[in-house]
Amino acid sequence: MTTTPLRTSTTTDHLDLLESHAIFILREVVAECERPVLLFSGGKDSAVLLHLAVKAFAPQQLPFPVMHVDTGQNFPEVIDFRDTTVERVGARLVVAKVQDTIDQGKVQDPGAMGSRNRLQTVTLLDALNDNNFDAAFGGARRDEDKARAKERILSFRDTFGQWDPRKQRPELWQIYQGKVNPGESVRAFPLSDWTELDVWQYIEREQMALPEIYFAHDRDVVMRDGMYLAIGSFVEPRSDETVERLSVRFRTVGDANCTGAVISHAATLEAIINEVALANVSERGATRADDKFSETAMEDRKREGYF
């Protein structure tokens, strides 16, 4: 049997501490809750979360399934990545489709090109209910948004899945208290204290795979609402828009019709880390149309039960 000494036995850097803290949270929630699930979109944050979950329970299988809330408007590269990753780690995948929610008449169909971003909340809450999931792990980070910056690591949700920022449980030390009554649930965010840069440094250190769209590539895009949108099944150029072929990458991965690309030549993890370290614009500011509607867009969606 080979023995691998820890990277550093006497000193631990910030990534080691963040990694162990996240693993600790994963184990704590699984021990305390009846039916946890890990929300996996195929984006970099949920990929890191899944990687940490595998580490937390190695050499055993993951003690919970993985769920994707599928808007049907994904980048195909991301769906490929989702499927290969889930298969590699041997997890059970639950796919909750926004299309089903539309077909059931619970939400209005926004049309082929319309955004389904907000509709996801209904699909998510239904899927959590239908499967009796009482804890959902998410890859959200507090540096992403000012409302997220206020949320506990274990975020209590009432029977409607709502977050009430005025009624958060005190969360002292590293005591994570996930006890809930039937119908209530918690969302758990093990990456709360990670920044975008931490995530990328960790991905490089662990040599993790990611969807190709995170790396610079040539793509046809149009400028719309101050963002470059990729031409594809969910975005067609309007008559007043000019299609350009540019070297771009995606800083976040959301729906193809509301996630902006950034101009970039960063084709390696090292180049991306340098780019992120020098960025002038935040991750969501650069890439998410859904956050630009109002001052408290994220808070409002979270109150409704969003991720």
Binding residues for another protein (CB under 8 A)? 1-6, 9-10, 12-14, 16-17, 19-21, 23-24, 27-28, 30-31, 54-60, 142-143, 145-147, 149-150, 152, 165-166, 168-175, 177, 179-181, 192-193, 195, 197-198, 201, 273-274, 277, 279-282, 285-286, 295-296, 299
With beta carbons less than 8 A apart as the criterion, state whether 254 and 232 touch: no
Torsion of CA 307, 132, 130, 234, to 10 degrees: 20
Report in angstroms how near the CB of residue 180 gets to another protein at its nearest.
Answer: 6
**Which residue, 33 or 78, has its beta carbon nearer to another protein?**
33
Ramachandran quadrant class, 256 (left: phi over 0; alpha: psi -120 to 50; beta: rest)? alpha
Report in angstroms how near the CB of residue 217 gets to another protein at its nearest.
Answer: 23
Residue 246 in 3-state DSSP? Answer: strand
Report in angstroms how near the CB of residue 252 gets to another protein at its nearest.
Answer: 14
Report in angstroms how near the CB of residue 58 gets to another protein at its nearest.
Answer: 3
**Which residue, 166 or 238, has its beta carbon nearer to another protein?**
166
Q: Which amino acid is at 24?
A: F
- What does each C-alpha distance from 63 to 38, 56, 66, 181 come to in angstroms? 10, 10, 10, 22
With beta carbons less than 8 A apart as the criterion, state whether 245 and 237 touch: no
Report in angstroms how near the CB of residue 96 gets to another protein at its nearest.
Answer: 27
CA distance 198 to 15: 7
**Cβ contacts of residue 158 below 8 Å, gap of 6+?**
164, 184
CA distance 261 to 245: 12
Residue 256 in 3-state DSSP? Answer: coil
**Which residue, 178 or 211, has its beta carbon nearer to another protein?**
178
Q: Is the Cα dihedral 267, 270, 271, 274 positive or negative?
A: positive
Report in angstroms how near the CB of residue 110 gets to another protein at its nearest.
Answer: 26
**Which residue, 151 or 255, has its beta carbon nearer to another protein?**
151
**Which residue, 75 or 176, has its beta carbon nearer to another protein?**
176
**Which residue, 150 or 217, has its beta carbon nearer to another protein?**
150
CA distance 30 to 292: 35
Report in angstroms how near the CB of residue 154 gets to another protein at its nearest.
Answer: 10
Two tokens, residue 160: 């409607």
**Which residue, 21 or 68, has its beta carbon nearer to another protein?**
21
**Cβ contacts of residue 121 below 8 Å, gap of 6+?**
161, 301, 304, 305, 306
**Which residue, 236 or 275, has its beta carbon nearer to another protein?**
275
Report in angstroms how near the CB of residue 131 gets to another protein at its nearest.
Answer: 21
**Which residue, 24 or 215, has its beta carbon nearer to another protein?**
24
Report in angstroms how near the CB of residue 299 gets to another protein at its nearest.
Answer: 6
CA distance 306 to 254: 14
